[in-house]
Amino acid sequence: MIIHQKDSAIAKAAIEADYNDLLDEDGSVRDGKGEAMIIGLLVAKAAGKEYIGFIDADNYFPGSVLEYVRNYAAGFSLAQSPYNMVRILWRYKPKISAGLYFRKWGRISEITNKYLNSLISTKTGFETEIVTTANAGEHALSMRLAEILPFASGYAVESQELVSLFENFGGILPTKESKAIEQGIDILQIETRNPHLHEERGNQHLNEILLSSMSTIYHSPLCDKEVKQAIMTELINQGILKDGEAPSPVHINAPLNKVKVNKFVNAIRREIGKYRVLH
């Protein structure tokens, strides 16, 4: 199926489901990557799917999708819990300048990983580098997990997924999801064999991603003063914030289990014929 984010039928379905989190002040679906992913989740729900995978659109190699699918399938096969997520770690992110240079880390991923690991370290007392996929656009979830996760707006979505998992299922803050706590959450980070060549969109785009990603950590109730200060210093050094400024909180969309998903699904099913591209 092919669905446009700004299709008025999607907005009407969201209104029927009382899912106003998804809408902007004009009553249209809010701009942003996170909102596009939520539409994908809702359509997967309407289609009765058990898993959903995401792929960034700026990848120049369509054949790499096969590798994603195999990695997702491997992760789901390894998972012990029905609440699971598979996140892709790129083996290399090459940059083309005078020649081809195979970088191990993208700039945004390296920084966001660092502060997510710092967040974990402050709660465990052990330094760690366990998070390597803070900004993994290529990732997949079981619908059981997707339905209970809040999804951040825009580019904050991937890092907020991890922050939400730490907050809701880390055993520090209270949670109402007792079934998920009993069965555990499996997060699998799987490294690709192939490099990831993607579109270069400039520093402004990268700064937007970094600011929103760091904001998810900064505004988490798990984040202590030391990590907050380190984040502010990092963003000032990167030229993204000025002295005395703090990152603004990102918009968080309610998890699907908090909305009338069946009403959304029924509304979408009435329109589903126009979205089908294969019969």
Average pLDDT, the chain: 89
Q: Please write the tens of the pLDDT for every residue from 194-229.
A: 877 766 665 777 899 999 999 999 999 999 999 999
Do the beta carbons of residue 161 and residue 52 sit within 8 Å?
A: no
Which residue ranges form the domains of the chain, and what is each CATH number? 1-49+259-279 (no CATH), 51-136+152-253 (3.90.550.10)
pLDDT at residue 55 in the model:
92
- Angle (CA) 60-65-67 rounded to 5° is 115
How is residue 2 written in tokens? Answer: 């092919």
Give CA–CA dist 11/35, Å, rounded: 11
Q: Is the pLDDT of residue 63 over 90?
A: no
DSSP string across 79-140 = -SSSSEEEEEEPS-EEEESSSEEEESS-HHHHHHHHHHHHHHHHHHSS-------TT-SSEE
Q: Please write the tens of the pLDDT for every residue from 221-271.
A: 999 999 999 999 999 999 999 998 999 999 999 999 988 988 988 888 888
pLDDT at residue 276 in the model:
77
Q: Is 142 exposed, middle or buried (0-12, 13-18, 19+ CB in 10 A)?
A: buried
pTM over 0.75: yes
pLDDT at residue 202 in the model:
58
Q: Please write the tens of the pLDDT for every residue from 70-127.
A: 999 999 999 999 999 999 998 766 666 566 656 665 678 899 999 999 999 999 999 9
